[in-house]
Structure 1
Amino acid sequence: MRYLLFLFLVLFLSSCQDIPSKYKTPEGKKILEKYKKQYVKGVVLIDQKLRNKIPEGDKFLIISVRKPDQARPIAVLRVKNPEFPYRFKITGKHKINPEEFIEGDLILMARLSKEATAGFKKGDLYGVAQAKAGEENVKIVIKDIFEGSGK
């Protein structure tokens, strides 16, 4: 028992190490700040006029995050059979490319579809919102129906 207690104390104390010195510099602090704000948090709502258009059976909520000047997303969250309102938090673990940062101005798109695949299909419900990295009260209202051919 003493051995386990000793082992626990050693592990606990070693896990409470100070941050590396390279992150104590002004440039290092900027990098840490970027990492800390690599998220966006909020809620997805369905407009009342589309309540009867929610797909029956299995459905997927796909929330994508992109920068305003880019077409492809930097992060994606997929949820099977969500309940609305759906609260979300997209973090660095949702990034497509680990080298990119979730930073600055962002555009979030929530899409409700029968398929979990990328890209819109005819009849998908969607909504768009603007946000900033680190924002915690983003509201995405799904209020439109995709009418394209899906080809």
Structure 2
Amino acid sequence: EIVLSQEAKGEAAPKPAQPQGAGEVISGTIEIAPALQTRAQGKPVLFLIARKSGGGPPLAVVRVANPRFPLKFEISKRNVMIPGVPFEGMVTLSARLDADGSAGPAGAGDLEGRTARSVRVGEKNVRIVIDKAF
């Protein structure tokens, strides 16, 4: 009996299996600008927030207690605020060190940084520098 591979028969080879959700993760590093390093001490909570590039409410949020910098991060569909909303396309990321630990808008004493440009879901090595004080 002769068995031909799918490629020999002119068929496309099956694609390798990917873990569910592969490609739906943005990863990178969050750093503190040198001028703000002393002000960053004692800030108990970091919020990493993804928004659709056109703006609007947060699409996904990660909360990190007692962060240490530089901080490696991942944000994915697991962090989406509203179940069923797709985590895809272009987004902007912001990282906020929050003085009072609340998830609301930035307030006095908070520190924040944003991606310099929109990033595509699935992108790796994204760099965010916290460089703004409120």
TM-score by length of 1: 0.69
Within the candidate set 63, 66, 71, 1:81 is matched to 66
Find the counterpart in structure 2 of residue 111 from structure 1. 96
Does structure 1 residue 96 correspond to structure 2 residue 81? yes
Give the Å deviation of 1:134.
Answer: 0.0
What residue is the counterpart of 2:106 in the other structure?
120
* 1:52 alignment counterpart: 38
Q: Which blocks of at least 5 consecutive residues in structure 2 are unaligned?
A: 1-17
Give distance in 2, aligned partners of 1:116 and 1:132.
28
Name the CA distance, whole Å, in 1 between partners of 2:62 and 2:80.
9
Structure 1: tracts of 5 or more residues without a match? 1-31, 147-151
Kindly report which structure 2 residues correspond to 1:1-151, keeping only aligned pairs within 5 A, or say none. 35-56=21-42, 59-118=44-103, 119-129=105-115, 130-146=118-134
CA distance in 2, matches of 1:39, 1:101: 12
> What's the C-alpha RMSD, in Å, of the aligned pairs?
1.8
Report the Cα distance in structure 1 between the residues aligned to 2:75 and 2:124, rounded to whole angstroms: 10
Q: Shift of residue 138 of structure 1?
A: 0.4
> Which consecutive segments of 4 or more residues in structure 1 shift more than 4 A?
none
Q: Structure 1 residues 39-48 or 68-77, which shifts more?
A: 68-77
Please report the TM-score for the alignment, with normalisation by the length of structure 2. Answer: 0.78
- Larger RCO: 1 or 2 (CA < 8 Å, sep 6+): 2
Rounded to whole Å, the distance in 1 between the matches of 2:59 and 2:82 is 7
Query: Per-residue CA shift, 1:32-76, capped at 9, x if unaligned?
Result: 9x94322210100000010111142x5101000010113211100
